Amino acid sequence: DVQLQAFGGGLVQAGGSLRLSCAASGFSFDDYAIGWFRQAPGREREGVSCISAGERSTYYSDSVKGRFTISSDNAKNTIYLLMNSLRSEDTAVYYCAAGGGVILTSMRYSSAYDHWGQGTQVTVSS
């Protein structure tokens, strides 16, 4: 059974940092792509950062490039999203997702992922 659990959200001031974690079980990072998505009220779910199966490639949306870093710890079966220089527009519920057979050009799209964790709220105060 593929399971994902995201945690680490919270309230932070603009310019601050947070690290989100996604604890995974039931699959190997060699076989599944992992994506971080976010959804703000009234907005569509957005692909923030993704890492391909086998961790060979990464994707960052333009809005977070240079500020966010995705990484993995295979020993802990955990994917991280380090978020620096946070802005008020980063406020959203953040989700991690896993997908098998995700091709690189599709990594940024939520439809490519089969399994989702519960969200964790990130609130950035200005």
Instruction: Give the containing element (helix H, strand E) for 106.
Output: none
Rounded Cα gap, residues 2 and 100, in angstroms = 11
Dihedral (Cα; 105, 24, 1, 111), 10-degree rounding: -30
Rounded Cα gap, residues 109 and 90, in angstroms = 18
How confident is the model at residue 23, as a pLDDT?
A: 97
How confident is the model at residue 56, as a pLDDT?
A: 81
Check pLDDT > 90 for residue 119: yes
Sheet holding 68-73, edge to edge: 3-7, 18-25, 78-83, 68-73
Rounded Cα gap, residues 63 and 116, in angstroms = 22
Q: How far is CA 36 from the centre of its chain?
A: 2
Per-residue pLDDT tens over the stretch 46-104: 999 999 998 789 999 999 999 999 999 999 999 999 999 999 999 999 999 999 988 88
120 strand-pairing partners: 94
How confident is the model at residue 54, as a pLDDT?
A: 85
Q: Are 99 and 32 in contact (CB under 8 A)?
A: yes
Query: With bands split at pLDDT 50, 70 and 90, how would you rate the model's confidence at 117?
Result: very high
Q: What is the DSSP string of 63-105?
A: TTTTTEEEEEEGGGTEEEEEE-S--GGG-EEEEEEEEET--GG
Per-residue pLDDT tens over the stretch 17-61: 999 999 999 999 999 999 999 999 999 999 999 999 987 899 999
